[in-house]
Amino acid sequence: MIVTIDGPAGSGKSTVAKRLAEQLGVRFLDTGAMYRAMALAAKRANRSLQDPVAVAEVAQACQIRFRDDKLLLNEDDVTAEIRSPEISAAASLVAAIPEVRRQLVRLQQEIGLQGSMVTEGRDQGTVVFPGAQHKYFLTASLEARAQRRLQELIRKGLTSSLEEVREQIRERDERDEQRELAPMKPAMDAQVLDTSDLSVDDVVQLLMRQIRG
């Protein structure tokens, strides 16, 4: 069984997808982390994120894999490093490069062949797993999403302001929605859920009830 959860930054999809996977007893796949690792690889190789040929070369040469809860880039644990606001913006840029998407989509589909999972991202229901049994698209107002992201940054000890976070998310949404290849959008057969006024527990319970039928 594949459950896809797509949606914009701060919609709650990561937390929900992780909890849902735990409750269902299946694996969890964070595909945003894979784009983030690609962005970090390009940055470490000193390649311009605006240069599709240079980034594609890096993408072909690097190895990304999950080990338990950790994400390894060429066997180096980059789990914490990929969570900075700088890498958030960079990931959205490299995610528009066709070769990067080709590589990561293939990797995601290979992981999907290994058994049931809950996978989250932007294109899981539309492109990567069009035949998934359960598809959701979580959304929330820009204000709610910026608030959530700010709290997350503060918990990690990073400083930022609501205005700054709001602007970063708005820019990223625009780029993710408007790129030519696999733009962020709900699959035709996805259920769209606005989580602005819902807690994580509410959303997980709702989805569990639907999936368990």
Give the span between the Cα atoms of 128 and 143, in whole angstroms: 29
Give the span between the Cα atoms of 101 and 127, in whole angstroms: 11
- Contact of 109 with 4, CB cutoff 8 Å: no
Stretch that binds ligand DC, among 71-79, 117-125, 133-141, 194-202 (CB under 6 A): 117-125
On the 0-12 / 13-18 / 19+ scale of CB atoms within 10 A, 153 is middle
- 172 lies in the binding site for ligand DC (CB under 6 A): yes
- 97 lies in the binding site for ligand DC (CB under 6 A): no
Q: Where are the alpha helices (DSSP H) in the chain?
A: 13-24, 31-44, 52-61, 85-94, 98-112, 142-155, 162-178, 200-212
Stretch that binds ligand DC, among 30-38, 63-71, 131-139, 153-161 (CB under 6 A): 30-38
CB of 115 to ligand DC, least distance (A): 20
Nearest to 32 by CA among 51, 56, 13: 13
- Contact of 36 with 85, CB cutoff 8 Å: no
- 93 lies in the binding site for ligand DC (CB under 6 A): no
CB of 198 to ligand DC, least distance (A): 19
Q: Which is nearer to ligand DC, 47 or 101 (CB)?
A: 101
Could you say which of 21, 42, 58, 92 contacts ligand DC (CB under 6 A)? 92
CB-hemisphere CA count at 13 Å for 173? Answer: 17
- 32 lies in the binding site for ligand DC (CB under 6 A): yes
- 150 lies in the binding site for ligand DC (CB under 6 A): no
- 95 lies in the binding site for ligand DC (CB under 6 A): yes
Could you say which of 18, 19, 47, 122 contacts ligand DC (CB under 6 A)? 122
Q: Which is nearer to ligand DC, 24 or 176 (CB)?
A: 176
Going by DSSP bridges, is the β-strand pair 76-77/70-73 parallel, antiparallel, or unpaired? antiparallel
- 103 lies in the binding site for ligand DC (CB under 6 A): no
- 18 lies in the binding site for ligand DC (CB under 6 A): no
- 121 lies in the binding site for ligand DC (CB under 6 A): yes
The residue type found at 134 is: H
- Contact of 172 with 9, CB cutoff 8 Å: yes
- 35 lies in the binding site for ligand DC (CB under 6 A): yes
Q: Which residues bind ligand DC (CB under 6 A)?
A: 9, 31-32, 35-36, 88, 91-92, 95, 121-124, 172, 176
